[in-house]
Amino acid sequence: MTDEEAIRTAVDGELRLLDPVVRARPDQVAALLDPEFTEVGASGRTWDRESIMTLMGPAAGQGPRTVPHEVAGRVVAPGVILVSYRTESGGFRARRSSIWRLREGRWLLYYHQGTPEPGTA
């Protein structure tokens, strides 16, 4: 797989995780998360894979849609991709960064952080 294909795979995975249809399906979310997944949310709360999975289900697909902007990815080390972007959801804007890593032949989300943009908290 070329770097461009790897970046496209990570970006596609990131966008799938924002899709309400995917968020409503815990099995689809689980397939994209690394077993060692960690998140520092825009709220400041920290999450691990287990705590995120307890939130998934039909209710996770409801509410305002999260719209991504300025999505970009780059290889930062062999088997590691950084995806960065901005989101807007119900008037709340955040900058987001995710680290995807290659594990057993699959790209999985290892770490995610959201930071509120000024004036939107």
pLDDT in tens, 72-106: 999 999 999 999 999 998 888 999 999 999 999 99
**DSSP secondary structure string for all residues of 18-57:** H-HHHHT-HHHHHTTEEEEEEEE-TTS-EEEHHHHHHH-S
Distance CA 119, CA 18 (A): 23
Report the share of the chain in percent with pLDDT over 90: 69
**pLDDT surpasses 70 at 120:** no
Residue 101 CA, distance from chain mean position = 12
pLDDT in tens, 16-59: 999 988 988 889 999 999 999 999 988 889 999 999 888 887 77
The answer as to CATH 3.20.20.220 being correct for domain 3-116 is: no
**pLDDT surpasses 60 at 121:** no
**pLDDT surpasses 90 at 15:** yes
The model's pTM: 0.89
